[in-house]
Structure 1
Amino acid sequence: MPDPQTIRTYDELARQQAAFQRNQHPDAIYRLIEAFFHHGRPTADIGSGSGRDVAWLEQHGYPTIGFEPSVGMINEARAAYAGINVQPAALPDLAGVKDASFDNVLCVAVLMHLPAADLIGAAVNLARILRPSGRLIVSYRTPPPEGERAADGRLYTAIPSARLTLLLESVGIRVLLVAEIPDQTRPGIRWVNVVGE
């Protein structure tokens, strides 16, 4: 199950978190989407947060459903982006999300919020909802300086990229690209971007 304290923090700070997310410009992720995702095909945004990426995907020709565990964040997303489709669901189980239902799956800033023991289940279920030849883009960040539990209570599990690559390949997702980039505004924080098929 998702980390309860992390979900509680997102619920309690939904307005601030949504505003923060909307002010970020994940150009590296959008370039990966345009390079690797199947244009015009059903797309899932797992952990859709503020709704920013669902709205971008829709505007760029990727029909998208967002899945988000925080009720507060779902409410913020629906208020900010009229007409987007965001539904409650959470890794690792993605309960209620049908097998082989998406050609593209985006999962940004989610995996690091899962307990390490849930990463296997998360990989299994990301693979489960992908169609044959479907593409997956995962992006996650390194823990904050204070360690795995941030001051606001959110969990940040350290995930070596080699471990995630092995997990994805063990569930039938061939890793096409792994790239590590610095955070745009926060020194010392890095993001790992992984593309699989």
Structure 2
Amino acid sequence: MADEATLAAYDSAAASFADDWHGQPPPSDLHAVVDRFFRPGTSVADIGCGSGREVGWLAARGYVAQGFDASRGLLAEARRRYPTLTFAHADLPALDGIAPASFDSVLCETVIMHLDRGRIAAAVRRLIDIVRPGGVLYLSWRVTKGADQRDGHGRLYAAFDAAEVRCGLDGARLLLDEEVVSASSGKVIHRIVAEKRGNAD
């Protein structure tokens, strides 16, 4: 499950976090990657959807989008801001209630660094598990060098190597693997796009 202090921070200050995220510049780089690799009109799960910003964008672009988050406070913000869209509670790495091969694409933007390092590979395996064969996983995380860190809110930023993520994607085909500065947050992130191979591959 998510780090308890991180989850408590999001639950206790959900409205403030939501205001901050929605006040940031649009994540044009993320949107460009989605447009490049996701197929319009298909189903997408946003795992760790926060206050729903990307779910709203995906729906406006014609995707059948659903949002999932571990924070009930952030889910309340998402439902308030996007009352016509679908949001549900789900916690990595288990993602209880989401069947394997449920979505054509999965988006998980800057979430896994809030997990204990020992849970990251399992979370990545579960993320690719809910993608349909031939579908795509977009996964990113904020890069932390050296030791794990916590910010002023108490949120965990785990330090881990990208190799640990790639290990969880064994059998998937990497389409993108890069470290960049986020156009929205201004933080250094690592992003991977992986295609889940079909049964015949």
TM-score of the superposition, structure 2-length normalised?
0.90
The aligned counterpart of 2:17 is 17
Cα distance change on mapping 1:103 and 1:67 into 2, 3 Å: same
Cα distance change on mapping 1:64 and 1:186 into 2, 3 Å: closer
Cα distance change on mapping 1:135 and 1:183 into 2, 3 Å: closer
In the TM superposition, 1:43-192 aligns within 5 A as 43-143=44-144, 148-168=149-169, 170=170, 172-184=171-183, 189-192=187-190
Following the alignment from structure 2 to structure 1, what is the Cα–Cα distance between the partners of residues 172 and 53? 26
Following the alignment from structure 1 to structure 2, what is the Cα–Cα distance between the partners of residues 146 and 47? 23
RMSD (Å) for aligned C-alpha atoms: 1.9
For residues 112-157 of structure 1, the C-alpha deviation after alignment (integer angstroms, 9 at most, x for no partner) is 0010110121012112111000101011112399952222111101
For residues 36-68 of structure 1, the C-alpha deviation after alignment (integer angstroms, 9 at most, x for no partner) is 012111110000001000000000011011001
Identity %: 38
Question: Which sits farther off after the overlay, 142-151 or 156-165?
Answer: 142-151
Cα deviation for residue 163 of structure 1 reads 2.8
Name stretches of at least 5 consecutive residues in structure 1 with no aligned partner: none
Cα deviation for residue 167 of structure 1 reads 2.4
Contact 1:46 / 1:107 at 8 angstroms: preserved in 2? yes
Aligned length: 194
Contact 1:14 / 1:76 at 8 angstroms: preserved in 2? yes
User: What secondary structure sits across from 1:44 in the alignment?
Assistant: strand
Name stretches of at least 5 consecutive residues in structure 2 with no aligned partner: 196-201
User: What secondary structure sits across from 1:194 in the alignment?
Assistant: strand
The aligned counterpart of 2:28 is 27
Contact 2:44 / 2:63 at 8 angstroms: preserved in 1? yes
